[in-house]
Structures are given as structure tokens and as C-alpha cells.
Amino acid sequence: MHLPWSAAGWFYFLFGKTVSLMLVLLVFQIIGNQTYAVFIFLTLLLYLLLNRILYGISWKERIRTVIASLD
């Protein structure tokens, strides 16, 4: 199974897109470093784009497929 390869990817994998963006923006607003916030935001977008191109289905559907194949 494909696993996310970046911190932004892990946020998306664990929490979903909306919560991930909120967490990233909140953390870097507290730290005050906008450069890192933009970098991670772009990394997240790149991850989502690559995930769609390479796999075409969401990770939830992949997990369901794996579980179904085990039965």
C-alpha cells in the first residue's frame, strides 16, 4: 500500500484535506514563518496531484480493496 512521503502527506493521510490545511496554517501562524507554511501547502497540493495521477482512487478506497481481498 502506498504511504504518504512527506509531513503534509501524513497530515492528509491521517486527518483529511480540510483539517490538514487548518493545522498547517495554524501551526505556522503561531511560529510566524510564512515561507514554511507556503512550502508545506505546495507540498500537500503536489502530493494530492501525484496521488490522483498515479493511483486514481483515494486511500480509503484502496484500504477497502485490500480488506475485501483478504476476506
Q: Give the global pTM.
A: 0.34
CB 8 within 8 A of CB 43: yes
What pLDDT is recorded for position 32?
67
**Which pLDDT tens digit goes with each residue over 12-69?**
666 666 666 677 677 766 666 667 767 777 777 777 777 766 666 666 776 777 777 7
What pLDDT is recorded for position 57?
62
1 falls within a domain: no
17 falls within a domain: yes
In whole angstroms, what is the distance from residue 38 CA to residue 3 CA? 22
Residue 44's domain comprises: 7-70
- Split into its structural domains, the chain has a count of 1
DSSP tag of 34: H
